[in-house]
């Protein structure tokens, strides 16, 4: 599991979408926050599976793609990224600083909480 900075994720998502390489090259952004948190701010195109549901909904996660886990500040998402890695996902990342850092560094329209 690696850490990825918000600006690095933004560049990666933008680059892959511009190339039109399909889903295989685009990282799966897995948002593990609670429903109420998602209503405040989210990264477009992210898959929402709250941390407490990851085990039960494991099959919904496309492990053939790079997976970037996201939460509020990066702690819950780090635990999920480590879990996914232990279950065979070879390209797992944790968004350093979480959605809070994303809002501050990449998307100022994203509300802070």
The chain-wide mean pLDDT, for the chain, equals 94
Summarize the confidence of residues 83-101 as an average pLDDT.
97
Contact 88/81 with Cβ under 8 angstroms?
no
* CATH, range 2-105: 3.40.250.10
| Bridge partners, residue 31, by sequence | 48, 70
3-state secondary structure of 67: strand
Residue 28: its H or E element: strand 28-31
pLDDT digits (tens, 9 = 90+) for 22-46: 566 789 999 999 999 999 999 999 9
């Amino acid at each position: 599991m690696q850490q990825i900075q918000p600006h690095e994720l933004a560049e990666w998502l933008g680059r892959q979408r511009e190339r039109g390489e399909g889903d295989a090259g685009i990282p799966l952004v897995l948002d593990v926050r609670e429903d109420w948190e998602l209503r405040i701010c989210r990264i477009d195109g992210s898959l929402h599976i709250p941390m407490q549901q990851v085990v039960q909904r494991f099959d919904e996660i496309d492990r053939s793609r790079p997976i970037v886990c996201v939460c509020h500040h990066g702690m819950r998402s780090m635990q999920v990224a480590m879990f996914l890695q232990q279950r065979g996902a070879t390209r797992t990342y944790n968004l350093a600083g979480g959605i809070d850092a994303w809002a501050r560094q990449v998307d100022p329209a994203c509300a802070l909480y």
